Structure 1
Amino acid sequence: MESKDLIHRLSEEELFKKYYPRLCDFALRYVQDEHLAEDLVQDAFVSFLENKHQVATDDNALKAFLYSCVKFACLNRLRHKKVKKRIEASMDANPVEDPKFLEAIVHAEIMGKIHEAINELPKGCYLIFKEGYLEGLSNQDLAKKLGISINTVKSQKQRGLMLLKRKYITGNLRSSSAAYI
């Protein structure tokens, strides 16, 4: 029967030789790659050597530490491999075939054209349109902020809408966005 104090009785090399084969077999059942299993077991032994003073000195504590290190290393590697495959699969997918991708492009282009069109509005219309529609201020808040009447705010909004509709109807907005479909 073995002594319970293997850490003190055996050298680091003897401990490695004793546990290496069984830990490799254990790791191989997880990762199914012999070289990777060997690397993970070696990493577990390095971890043991770095933390040897924190591990209890009996055989069971040493086994528990080494098996736990190997198990978590295997699980981390498998998780990493799974994430890597998912990323590679998403990169391999043709983005043009993804409806969300196309929708996002069309939306971004339309919003860009709308912003360009708003920026081309006369200054008064631009300010009221931007703060009223894009920033969500009410007509009353706009009138108060800009020191103008509510009717002026309403007429500037109507004027801005009319100018944007004219620009949209002429096809400037449609033809540019249609190129991305």
Structure 2
Amino acid sequence: MTVHVYTPGDSVRLLLNGRELPAATGTPERAMATFTVPYEPGELTATAGRNGEEIGRKTLATVGAPAAPRLVSDVDHLTTGRDDLAHVLVEVTDSHGHIVPDATLKVTFEIHGAGDLAAVGNGNPHNVDSFRQPRRHTWHGRALAVLRPAKRPGRLTLTAKAAGLRPASLTLPVGRA
């Protein structure tokens, strides 16, 4: 496969599972180096240098099959104020907890307790589905659920489910504003 490495540096090294690959084609003026790499599961690491010093490093790793959604909220609690929101990132992960970047799965959302599902999204500019439906396909392995608390204190629980995966739940306390 072809790997392009973009860098402001004057040199690039590419390592596949710790082994250095033959030098890239390209020139520093173009800020891109191109490698031809045989596919092999594991880790691919690019290191960029300038004047003999390392200025950057990026590693990509092979991931497994989707196993479960992971829910990550931008807040750890909500208040009863109607302008208070929780943005919950849904990440499709493999059995080791790594995000599966090519996962396109239909995720359904269930809400229980003190609040409701205000909106869903996924960042896909071609997706024209309603933001108000309790479902969304992931895009690049991710989706978003926006939660709005009720006008009463309690607990708000979001559960995300996708066919063939373990479900995931997240509970946020809702306190008085």
Greater RCO (CA < 8 Å, at least 6 residues apart): 2
Larger strand share, 1 or 2? 2
- Specify if TM > 0.5: no
TM-score (norm 2): 0.18
